[in-house]
């Protein structure tokens, strides 16, 4: 489930002219326009590590998707490419062995475009109740509204999957009267 941090108008500006395949952008050096090159600009801390992503997240340089950004997630067995920890076909497990939700982020032009809990189909189907939770901390976090906790529960007796996401609001101070008031208005559908 992609949770976008930018407007639909900004997403329309997230594009590349040269495509690797129908879904993903060609590498940086093959992008003739600035919008395409922005897929390969990443926020970094003073040590050169990717900022605003959890520790051990890797870039998938072949996943620059128009409207989304470059995908990053925790991939075991990361490879180095031009000084970057990157995903390769050899460094990922077989998709069939994927049984629990994972967190994926989308980066573009130094920022975080989306935050995505990705859920395997097997987790939300079948006869067994499933639960997953994760507390997130981010390398050199500068975006206060990135979620600090998320969980997912599947109840087979109802077929209902529940996703819980917790974190600070970017717009309202924690525990303020204004934050509580805005939350109530949003629940009623007015803004």
Residue burial 112-137, b: 16+ Cβ < 10 Å; e: rest: bbbbbbebbeebbeeeeebebebebe
pLDDT tens for the 191 residues of the chain, in order: 889 999 999 999 998 888 878 788 888 788 888 999 999 999 999 998 899 999 888 888 888 899 999 999 887 644 554 455 555 555 445 556 677 898 999 999 999 999 999 999 999 999 999 999 999 999 999 999 999 999 999 999 999 999 999 999 887 666 555 444 444 333 333 33
Residue-level pLDDT at 37 = 92
Residue-level pLDDT at 137 = 96
Residue-level pLDDT at 189 = 36
Distance between CA atoms of 160 and 156, rounded to whole angstroms?
A: 7
Residue 101 burial class via C-beta count within 10 angstroms: exposed 0-12, middle 13-18, buried 19 and up? buried
CA nearest to 73, candidates 140, 167, 136 = 136
């Amino acid at each position: 489930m992609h949770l976008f941090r930018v407007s639909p108008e900004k997403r329309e500006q997230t594009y590349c002219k040269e495509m690797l395949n129908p879904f993903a952008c060609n590498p940086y050096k093959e992008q003739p326009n600035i919008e395409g090159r922005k897929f390969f600009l990443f926020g970094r801390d003073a040590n050169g590590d990717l900022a605003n992503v959890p520790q051990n997240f890797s870039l998938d340089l072949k996943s620059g998707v128009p409207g989304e950004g470059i995908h990053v997630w925790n991939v075991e067995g990361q490879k180095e490419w031009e000084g970057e920890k990157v995903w390769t076909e050899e460094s990922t497990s077989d998709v069939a062995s994927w049984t629990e939700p994972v967190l994926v982020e989308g980066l573009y032009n130094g920022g975080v475009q989306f935050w995505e809990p990705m859920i395997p189909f097997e987790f939300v189907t079948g006869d067994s109740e499933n639960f997953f939770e994760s507390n997130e901390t981010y390398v050199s976090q500068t975006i206060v509204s990135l979620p600090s906790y998320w969980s997912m529960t599947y109840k087979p007796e109802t077929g209902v999957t529940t996703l819980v996401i917790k974190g600070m609001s970017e717009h309202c101070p924690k525990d303020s009267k204004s934050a509580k008031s805005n939350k109530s208005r949003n629940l009623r559908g007015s803004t």
